[in-house]
Structure formats: structure tokens, C-alpha cells
Amino acid sequence: MKPTPMMAQYLDIKAQHEDCILFFRLGDFYEMFYDDAVTAARELEITLTRRDKNNPIPMCGVPYHSAKGYIEKLIDKGFKVAICEQMENPREVKGMVKREVVQIITPGTVMDGSLDETSNNYLMAMTRERDFHIAYADISTGELKVTQCTEEILYNELASIKPSEIIVDVELEPALLEKIQQITNVISVHEATRDDIPKQAEELAAASKQTVRLLFDYVTATQKRDLTHIENAVYYHAVDYMRLDMYAKRNLELTESIRLKTKKGTLLSIFNETKTPMGHRLQKEWIERPLIKLEDIKRRHEQVELLNDHFFERASLRERLADVYDIERLVGRVSFGNANAKDLIQLKYSIEQLPAINDILLTIGMTAVPVEEVLSLVELLAGLEEPAPISIKDGGLFKMGYDTQLDEYRDASKNGKAWLNEMQQSERTRTGIRSLKVSFNKVFGYYIEISKANLHQFDAEQFGYVRKQTLTNAERFITEDLKEKEALILGAEEKMIDLEYRLFMELRERVKAYTIPLKLIARRLAELDCLQNFSQVATQNAYIRPTFTQRTLALTDSRHPVVEQVMSKEEYVPNDCRLDETQYIDLITGPNMSGKSTYMRQVALISIMAQMGSYVPCQAAELPVFDQIFTRIGAADDLVSGQSTFMVEMLEARNALKNATQDSLIIFDEIGRGTSTYDGLSLAQAMIEYVHDHIKAKTLFSTHYHELVELENELSGLENVHVAAKEYNGELIFLHKIMPGAVENSYGIHVAKLAQLPPEVIERANKILQQFENTPKQTYEVKEQPQQINETPQLSFDLFSSGIEDELKQLDIARMTPIEALLKLQSLQDQLK
């Protein structure tokens, strides 16, 4: 079927915006068709209909005046929306109305409404010229950052930046695409058409210039507005910060929990005492990017200490900061040209806090915020009426006295109305008609109305009335006087609104001139907010200031910052940790649920906290500056997506083994769990040996392979520790205490006993266990004595000749609970009886 002319127009426009949901303006509605309609109906929970009975095209629509909410919802869900408007008045043209896409709203380019004030909204462009070049901007704040990196670092960067949209200039190869999609699904392919390099990129190297050009070109193409408010690009080196790959960020739950992807239970959730939106956003960045330059780290610690020492000043500082609005985004809106009067008033309030904040900083002994350049803004903005109207187009923006001309118009308009009232009175007296009215309508302006009943004895001419309109019940007149006043009143009101709008635009332009100092202030306040947050959190939770050494990590009574929050202080068992140049690997054994994983994460988190400038949950802490932290958290804890967990496990391990240095921290939690016992055991041992001999990184290695504890005898840099547990009154008590040496037994049979398996089974199991333990263990005799590998363990009973041997070999012991193991054992025994 041939499409109607309008559908042809629709299809034509849609073809140019295939990756967007097209909002097609039809009168008072935006309509969506075909797949767009199906998607939108589902996502927005609106009714899906069809175009008409004979034409089964799926369709749905939203009223144009309430479209904003629907658009925000779609953007939130990661869609892009193209707004297609009627470019002509349908009443004035014959045939098809011209339509054009006027704006494309995408997750990376939204400016208002749905923006979350606690996080940045980054739009990123990515190009490739040998290395990857990335440029990312938060359009709402004007921040623009640029770097270049290898593919490996790229993923780390993406995991920190979490852009809501990535622009590329070529289709990505599938493997790369798949990895990037783990961070964001919104990937837009765009070809830059502008020739010039944006001025913000002038200082950059050639390749980065192209990346910024791609970014700007995309924004101009979608937003159809200029980007003068974006700051000059800041180039940074990813290597200036502690390197945390995306696995570490995820596993350590720095800003997002693994399971629910929320803030709850994360390190970020501990640092929740920021008072300003920009402080909150910066806090997140500080957590994602711990420092590696000792003097930078110390500078933060020194300031936290000062704040700790000034309890009352800190309290007043916090109060003042709470009165500071989101200066960064306010300034962004001023420069972008969509700030309203309310925004400017918030800016004024924020600046008014600064002198007091500086007084406090002076007392504490901290550097003041540079306010001199912006104080005049307060005066400049003093003329704005409060509370401010939301619209800047309906007047009422300025106080009396702001502008003489404006005051005159206001007078005229106000006096004019009073004059009309008086005129009604005097005309009533003059004509003797008590029901005479002076009124207004849009078509005729002001008029005097006299009802039919009074007309027969009324001589219009005598009073100078001119007939204007005849109604069924009344006659309307005008007079010379009335016309004169009308011109004055109407003119004044219109002029007043025009003038206010103009004055507001001028004012906004003048505020724009303050952009640079305001941004500096916003940045300083954000830092200050993060530091007071560190101080507040440290005081609340009894954290201490860590010290730094070359190569020793020594924590006394350390706690897990998040886990300790969910229990009382007495419940959480603090632990020590010591790793140095001679003993740099701790092999951790202990029963399930004893606290191995918690302990290892706690050491990693404490290192991160220290390097981001925070105090740490310990009695005493001496730390090296780690260049990188790697994690591999056991399959049992790995609840992510369930996709080939063993492969993920190996990828994480590879990342660590390939990139770690002597200055790194490695957390390997039950490596090898995702495969069969001997596979896993061999891999685990090989990895430990590799770290020990070649990397010498500080390493915490927990394992359920009890066999590995023997390594202590062979590897001088490795020592065994275990998490203590004991039986008390027939119950297994977890002490959560890290002790030297290996765990004595794995408690599996213990648990079985507690579960009241038949005593015979327990007894027999203990016997078999002893036999296994007395057997030479082939897995160890690897290094210098390969001949022993072929030795078969000599068991005292000959059961391996039957099919039972195969059955035993097939068992995946690592994946069995102790009870399952015992039941299996029992069934094997039954077969032999």
C-alpha cells in the first residue's frame, strides 16, 4: 500500500533518525509510529492504537504540553528522542505542513529536569589513533576533560567516568563494543562535519583535538545550539591516579553495589556527610580516583586533621555549606542561556555565604576561597524580586527601584487601572446610569457598556460616547479619554514585560562574565565539602590518620568500614594485617563464613580510603602508596549475571598477573573455585608461585584448598594465616579473628556432626580423612622433583579398582557442601558393603 503523503514525510524524517524515537508533531500531539510506537507504548505505559481501521500501522501519542515528562522517562531508560515540529501554521498553508527535527534529546545531552544532582552526566567522544582518545563533558556544568590511553586503561576509565552516552566516529568491532556496553548501552555513531577545531581544544595535541571536535559536532547537531559555555579542555593522565580496573571497582563496591547496583552498602555510602551537590559529585570522583602522589595525599590528610581539631568551626562550616546551592550547574545554566530568576537568586544566596565561610577557614588555618572577584555580584543581583517567578517572560522579575523606566511603566499601568475605576464612578454619576461598566476585552480593548434597558433615554452624543459594538442586551461605547488611557495602560504593560525581559537578559549576560571565578569557587567549595565530609565521617566512626612508608603495610585493629556499620562496635572483631618486603603474601584459610572475604576487602578498602585522603578504620595504620589494586573475588560470592564465571575469574586473574607490580595490592579470594578441584588447585598454586617469584606484589590469597598451606615451606615470602573458629557447647563459633598459621582442619566433618549425621558415618569419615591426610600429596611435588608426579598415592584399602574410582574422580568437591560429601561417602561405602 502506498503511504499517504504525511506518512511518506514521516518515513523520510524517520530514516534520518533511525536510532531515535521520533516524536512527530501532529496538531496538539506528538505521535509515534511503527516500532517507535510499540517501544514507547511499552516503556511509557500508554495505549498502543492504530492509525485507522484500514491502516494497521501501530501508533501512540502524548499531548505536546505534557511531553516533557514522557521524554525524560525515555531518556532515563537510555533512549534518544528526536523532536519533530511543524514548521508552518497548518491553518495558513495548503497541503502538507513542513516538519523538521528541531532537537535530539539524548542521555548525554539533557540539561534539566531528570538530571540527578548527586552525579555528573557525562557525554563522551572516543576516537582511535593508535591509542584511544577520549573527551568527555558534563554539559550541565561545562566541565570538559580529555585523555588518551591504551585499551586496557580505557575500560578502567570508562568504569570511573560511567558516561551516559558515548559517541564514536566508526562502528566499533564486536568484541570492543560488547565490553563497552557493560558500561553504557547508548553508543552513537556520528560523523563530524564541521571543519574547525573548537577553541576549547586549542591547547591540545592533534589527535585529542579531533576527539573534542567530534564531541562538539555531535552536540551542535543534536542540540542546535552553541557550546560557548564549555570550559577549556583539561588534559589529565590516567596514571596520575591509583589504577583500579573495572573488576576492582565492581568487586570492592566503591560507589555501586554488585547485586542491586545501588549506593547502599558501598564505600560511597559511608561518606554521606557532604552538604553541597558539587561536593557530593566530587566525593564520588575522589573515591573512584585515589591519589598516588604522596604530597597530594598528605595535603588532604593535613586539612582533615585541621578540621578534626576544630569541632565548632567545622559545625558552622557545615551549616554554611548547606546554604550553598549547586553553583556549578547554576553557572552552567547562566552560560548556556537557560537560567531563570530563581537560579540567579540561588547564586546570590550562595555567594552571600562566602565571607562567613572564609572567616571560619581563617580561624581553622585553611586557605580562603577566592571571593573578591565575585562579591559585586551580590549587589548586582540585589534588584531581583523574591520569591522569583518561574517564567522570565511574564514580568515581576525586579524590585521597585531597579530601573527608573520600569518603575514608570509600572506606575502607569497601576495608575491607569485606578483611573479606570474612578472613571466608572464618575461616568455613572454623569450619566445617571448605575449599571454602567468599564470593561476590557482582547478584540476591542477598553469600552463602556450600557445595558439595553438604559439605552432608550440615553443620548450618546451628549456625553461624547462613540458606538463601538451592539450586543443583544447591551451597547458598547468608547470615548476620547478612554482611548487615550487605554493606549497608556496597554502600552505600559506590554512595555513593562518587554523591558523586564530585556533587563533580565542584560543581567544574565553580566553574570556570565563571572563564569571563571565562579567555577573556581565552586571547585574550591566542592573540595572543602569533601574534606569536611572526611573529617565528619572520621569523627563519627573513630577513624585515624594513616602514615605512609615505603613498602610496609601494617594495620592494627582494622575494621571493614561498611560491615562494621551494620553491627554494633562490640560485635565487629578488628584484625591486624602485616605485609612487608620479606613477607608479602598471606595465604588465608578458614571455614566458610568465618570472615576471609571481609578481611581481604577491608585491607583493600582501607588502602583506597587512605589514598583518597580519608582517615581509616584502624587503631594504627602504616601503609605504602599502592600504584594499583587488583581483585578476584570467589565464584561463590560472584553473583554477577552468572555468565561463564570461570572465564571472568580467569580474566580478572590475568589482569592482575599481567599488570601488577611490586607496588600493587592483589586480593585473590578463593581462586580456582569455578573449575574442578585439581584444575583449580593447580592454577591457584601456579598463580601464587608466579606472584611470589616474579611480581612480589602485596597479596592476600584466601583458599579452600587446604593443600596450599604447605607452600609456606617453599616460598619464603609467603606465610599462612587463618581465621579462628572453635567449638563451644556443641556449636561452631566463628571468632572472625585472623591468627598466624594454617587452620587445623576444615571443619566439614565438624559441621556434619553438628547436623547429627549417624555417629558411624562421622567416625568412618574421620578415619578416611586421616588416611587421606597421611597420603603424600602429589600436587606439591612439582618444582624440583618431577619424577614424583607419577607416584600413585598408596591407600590402605583397594577400592579404586572398582567403578568407585571413576565416581570419585568425577566429584567436584569444591562445589559440594560437607553434608553432601558425607552422604556421597556413605553411598560409596554402601556400595562396597
Per CB under 6 A, the segment of 160-168, 366-374, 585-593, 606-614 that binds ligand ADP is: 585-593
Q: Is 496 or 656 the residue whose CB approaches Mg ion more closely?
A: 656
Q: Is 187 or 743 the residue whose CB approaches ligand ADP more closely?
A: 743
CA angle, 225 then 230 then 232, to 5°: 140
Which residue from 102, 593, 639, 755 is in contact with ligand ADP, where contact means CB under 6 A? 593
User: Is residue 387 reached through a cis peptide bond, with omega within 30 degrees of 0 on the bond before it?
Assistant: yes
- Residue 527 CA from chain centroid, whole number: 18
Q: Is 508 or 596 the residue whose CB approaches ligand ADP more closely?
A: 596
Per the CB < 8 A criterion, the answer to whether 163 and 106 are in contact is no
CA distance 268 to 168: 31
DSSP string covering 625-663 = --SEEEEE--GGG--SS-S-HHHHHHHHHHHHHHH--TT
Which residue from 314, 596, 696, 704 is in contact with ligand ADP, where contact means CB under 6 A? 596
Per CB under 6 A, the segment of 165-173, 470-478, 590-598, 824-832 that binds ligand ADP is: 590-598
User: Among Mg ion, ligand ADP, none, what does residue 121 contact (CB within 5–8 Å per kind)?
Assistant: none
Please tell me whether 591 is known to bind a ligand: yes
User: Among Mg ion, ligand ADP, none, what does residue 335 contact (CB within 5–8 Å per kind)?
Assistant: none
CA distance 210 to 133: 9
Q: Kindly tell me the sign of the dihedral angle through the C-alpha atoms of 73, 74, 80, 85.
A: negative
Query: Grid cell 586473574 — which residue?
Result: 653
Query: Grid cell 553495589 — which residue?
Result: 257
- How big, in percent rounded to 5, are the helix, strand and coil portions of the chain? 45, 20, 35
Minimum gap (Å) between residue 144 Cβ and ligand ADP:
42
Q: Is 590 or 748 the residue whose CB approaches ligand ADP more closely?
A: 590
User: Among ligand ADP, Mg ion, none, what does residue 595 contact (CB within 5–8 Å per kind)?
Assistant: ligand ADP
Minimum gap (Å) between residue 565 Cβ and ligand ADP:
11
Element (H, E) at 347: helix 341-352
Tell whether residue 659 is a contact of ligand ADP (CB under 6 A).
no
- Residue 804 CA from chain centroid, whole number: 55
Tell whether residue 590 is a contact of ligand ADP (CB under 6 A).
yes
CA distance 248 to 263: 16
Contacts of 495 (CB under 8 A, 6+ apart): 409
Please tell me whether 590 is known to bind a ligand: yes
What number of residues does the chain have?
Answer: 833
Crossing angle of helices 277-288 and 327-336, in 10° steps, is 110
CA distance 552 to 227: 49
Using CB under 5 A, which residues numbered 582 to 621 contact Mg ion?
A: 597
Q: Which three-class secondary structure state does DSSP give residue 102?
A: strand
What Cα–Cα distance (Å) separates residue 536 from each residue in 255, 264, 318? 19, 19, 10
Contacts of 591 (CB under 8 A, 6+ apart): 723, 725, 732, 734, 743, 746, 747, 751
Minimum gap (Å) between residue 594 Cβ and ligand ADP:
4
Using CB under 5 A, which residues numbered 742 to 771 contact Mg ion?
A: none
Minimum gap (Å) between residue 693 Cβ and ligand ADP:
27
Please tell me whether 400 is known to bind a ligand: no
E strands, 71-192, in order? 81-86, 99-105, 123-129, 131-138, 143-149, 165-168, 187-189
Q: Is 144 or 573 the residue whose CB approaches ligand ADP more closely?
A: 573
Query: Measured at CB, which residue is nearest to ligand ADP?
Result: 595
Q: Is 7 or 671 the residue whose CB approaches ligand ADP more closely?
A: 671
Tell whether residue 275 is a contact of ligand ADP (CB under 6 A).
no
CA distance 200 to 212: 8
Per CB under 6 A, the segment of 131-139, 197-205, 266-274, 591-599 that binds ligand ADP is: 591-599
Q: Is 292 or 667 the residue whose CB approaches ligand ADP more closely?
A: 667
Please tell me whether 399 is known to bind a ligand: no
Per the CB < 8 A criterion, the answer to whether 31 and 84 are in contact is no
Minimum gap (Å) between residue 702 Cβ and ligand ADP:
7
Count the residues of the shown chain that bind Mg ion, applying the rule CB under 5 A. Answer: 1
CA distance 74 to 70: 6
Per the CB < 8 A criterion, the answer to whether 291 and 242 are in contact is yes
**β-pair partners for 441:** 445
Please tell me whether 279 is known to bind a ligand: no
Minimum gap (Å) between residue 606 Cβ and Mg ion:
18
CA distance 27 to 88: 11
Minimum gap (Å) between residue 597 Cβ and ligand ADP:
3
Q: Is 228 or 592 the residue whose CB approaches ligand ADP more closely?
A: 592
Minimum gap (Å) between residue 575 Cβ and ligand ADP:
6
Please tell me whether 568 is known to bind a ligand: no
What is the arrangement of strands in the sheet containing 123-129, beginning at the earlier edge strand? 187-189, 165-168, 123-129, 131-138, 143-149, 234-235
Q: Is 479 or 598 the residue whose CB approaches Mg ion more closely?
A: 598
User: Among Mg ion, ligand ADP, none, what does residue 736 contact (CB within 5–8 Å per kind)?
Assistant: ligand ADP
Per CB under 6 A, the segment of 26-34, 186-194, 587-595, 615-623 that binds ligand ADP is: 587-595
Minimum gap (Å) between residue 766 Cβ and ligand ADP:
23
**β-pair partners for 127:** 133
Q: Is 746 or 826 the residue whose CB approaches ligand ADP more closely?
A: 746
| Cell numbers that stand for 754 in this block | 553438628
Count the residues of the shown chain that bind ligand ADP, applying the rule CB under 6 A. Answer: 14
Query: Measured at CB, which residue is nearest to Mg ion?
Result: 597
Q: Binding pattern to ligand ADP, positions 536-575, x when CB under 6 A?
A: ---------------------------x-------xxx-x
Alpha helices in 252-310 (DSSP H): 267-270, 277-288, 294-309
Please tell me whether 69 is known to bind a ligand: no
CA distance 614 to 533: 9
Minimum gap (Å) between residue 563 Cβ and ligand ADP:
6
Per CB under 6 A, the segment of 32-40, 143-151, 446-454, 595-603 that binds ligand ADP is: 595-603
User: Among Mg ion, ligand ADP, none, what does residue 659 contact (CB within 5–8 Å per kind)?
Assistant: none
User: Among Mg ion, ligand ADP, none, what does residue 674 contact (CB within 5–8 Å per kind)?
Assistant: none
Q: Is 147 or 266 the residue whose CB approaches ligand ADP more closely?
A: 266
Please tell me whether 451 is known to bind a ligand: no
Which residue from 25, 289, 348, 736 is in contact with ligand ADP, where contact means CB under 6 A? 736
Which residue from 279, 395, 595, 672 is in contact with ligand ADP, where contact means CB under 6 A? 595
Per the CB < 8 A criterion, the answer to whether 145 and 234 are in contact is yes
Q: Is 142 or 590 the residue whose CB approaches ligand ADP more closely?
A: 590
Q: Is 573 or 605 the residue whose CB approaches ligand ADP more closely?
A: 573
| Cell numbers that stand for 406 in this block | 520600569
What Cα–Cα distance (Å) separates residue 641 from each residue in 325, 349, 645, 704? 39, 47, 9, 24
Minimum gap (Å) between residue 811 Cβ and ligand ADP:
22
What is the 3 state secondary structure string of 387-439? Answer: CCCCCCCCCCCECCCCCHHHHHHHHHHHHHHHHHHHHHHHHHHHHCCCCCEEE
Per CB under 6 A, the segment of 14-22, 480-488, 596-604, 799-807 that binds ligand ADP is: 596-604
User: Among Mg ion, ligand ADP, none, what does residue 696 contact (CB within 5–8 Å per kind)?
Assistant: none
Q: Is 152 or 571 the residue whose CB approaches ligand ADP more closely?
A: 571
Binding residue positions: 590-597
Q: Which residues would be at the binding site for Mg ion (CB under 5 A)?
A: 597
Q: Which residues would be at the binding site for ligand ADP (CB under 6 A)?
A: 563, 571-573, 575, 590, 592-598, 736
Binding residue positions for ATP: 590-597
